[in-house]
Amino acid sequence: MIEARGLTRRYGNKVAVDDLSFSVRPGRVTGFLGPNGAGKSTTMRMILGLDRPTSGTVRVNGQAYHELDQPLRRIGALLDAKWVHPNRSARAHLRWLARTNRLPDRRVDEVLEAVGLAAVANRPAGGFSLGMSQRLGIATALLGDPEILMFDEPVNGLDPEGIRWIRGFMRDLAAQGRTVFVSSHLLSEMAQTAEDLVVIGRGKLISQCTTAEFIDNASESLVRVRTPQAEELRAALARADAEVRVEVETGALLVSGVTTQLVGEVAAAGGVVLHELAVERASLEQAFMRLTDDAVEYQTTALPAPELVTAGR
């Protein structure tokens, strides 16, 4: 388990992490989300003792990172996939790390095989693609067979097969009872991978809950209806004090503040044929954008149209 309590980190006048408290449970994949500049990487660095908190504490299974004996056996992390000497082979890099924590050389071959790098294990890491470097970083995190794993943007540079692999791999690690904490900007992947979420913005906690709860809490309750008698149903729903709008692309009715049961009963009473009746759920991306809109550090605006230059000017 990872536990942060009142975690704060200042750099001069800038507050990167602000009184942040959360916990990451074993046996589940927990997504760590936030806009750019939210403090995710700083928080992960503090968990690993790479940055010292200005105030507050963070514990790994009840201990600070610097108190851990043979830390690779307790927590494995991928923060920077390119943190490898370019002239050192993947196997040599892992053997060097293994010896610092008294791990056998056979474990190096096991993790190289697990991440699909066995065939290129003796090639210099400086010639690796970003995707291969990510796999080597994941192998490094797995080296000590730790109970806790942290990954910062682990799918960067991976092809579709690699993304599918890491998605299943993280789920398998959690199913073994491990704590898996992963930061990613690919919200579609987090929706398929993470069971729990920790969401921050401007260094502060926005939400900690399950993925399903996060989407539900940020979503407007909508019922989606398709019918060849849209006008009749729309009028009947209006008489029932329901708010109805039309989806321009499809002509479907989107009804807010009611249940599917009520819409079905109103349709049946009016003899209206229904082709679709379902609850409209927001995506994780839509929920994330809605709840973090005020915490975005860099707001974008539309470019102004170029001024037309007429002949003779």
Write out pLDDT tens, residues 258-305: 888 999 999 999 999 999 998 877 677 777 777 776 655 555 555 565
Q: How confident is the model at residue 137 (pLDDT cuts 50, 70, 90)?
A: very high
- How do 148-152 and 179-183 pair as beta strands? parallel
CA distance 147 to 136: 19
Query: What does DSSP assign to residue 120?
Result: G
Q: Measured in Å, how far apart are the chain's first and last C-alpha atoms?
A: 69
What pLDDT, on a 0 to 100 scale, did the predictor assign at position 251?
Answer: 87
Structural domains in the chain plus CATH codes: 2-209 (3.40.50.300), 220-280 (3.30.70.100)
- Letter for the amino acid at 127? G
Strand partners, 149: 76, 180
150-192: per-residue pLDDT in tens? 999 888 878 888 888 889 999 999 999 999 999 988 888 888 8
3-52: per-residue pLDDT in tens? 999 999 999 999 999 999 999 999 999 999 998 888 999 999 999 999 99
Q: Which tokens in the block code for residue 299?
A: 């707001």
What pLDDT, on a 0 to 100 scale, did the predictor assign at position 309?
Answer: 56
- Letter for the amino acid at 258? V
What pLDDT, on a 0 to 100 scale, did the predictor assign at position 80?
Answer: 83
Q: What is the mean pLDDT of residues 196-222?
A: 85
What pLDDT, on a 0 to 100 scale, did the predictor assign at position 121?
Answer: 93
**pTM here?**
0.77
Q: Which tokens in the block code for residue 104?
A: 């056998």
The gap from C-alpha 274 to its chain's centroid, in whole angstroms, comes to 37
What pLDDT, on a 0 to 100 scale, did the predictor assign at position 311?
Answer: 56
227-240: per-residue pLDDT in tens? 999 999 999 998 88
